[in-house]
């Protein structure tokens, strides 16, 4: 197995909430990454990110590993949640908040 896949597995397993994106949360480099960051930030928990523009090997290998062709990609507790449309939809209906609360062990209310 390639070192890149090992790196990806390590990143996913060591971060409860991980966003693979273009750019960084303060300066997203595409509209989809920007929307994903806004949705995540609205949940109020810290999250890790990997800027795939700075990591071309991860940018090339992650879609094959995840069987998900596009970025951003949100991973929570080692599971691929999805991309921008799914993240934004889940944020809108409250599912994202619940998933993140469960991941970090907080309760609402």
Q: Which residues are annotated as a binding site for glutathione?
A: 22, 59, 71, 84-85
- The annotated binding site for [2Fe-2S] cluster is made up of 30
Closest CA to 47 of 37, 32, 55: 37
- B/e letters for 3-39, b = 16+ CB within 10 Å, e = fewer, are ebeebbeebbeebbbbbbbbbbbeebeeebbbbbbeb
């Amino acid at each position: 197995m390639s070192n890149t896949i090992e790196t990806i597995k390590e990143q996913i397993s060591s971060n409860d909430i991980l966003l693979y994106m273009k750019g960084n949360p303060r300066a997203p480099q595409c509209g989809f990454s920007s929307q994903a960051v806004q949705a995540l930030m609205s949940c109020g928990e810290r999250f890790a990110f990997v800027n795939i523009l700075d990591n071309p090997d991860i940018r090339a290998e992650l879609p094959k590993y995840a069987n998900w062709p596009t970025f951003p990609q949100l991973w929570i507790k080692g599971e691929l949640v999805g991309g921008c449309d799914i993240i934004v939809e889940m944020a809108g209906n409250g599912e994202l908040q619940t998933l993140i609360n469960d991941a970090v062990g907080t309760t609402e209310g």
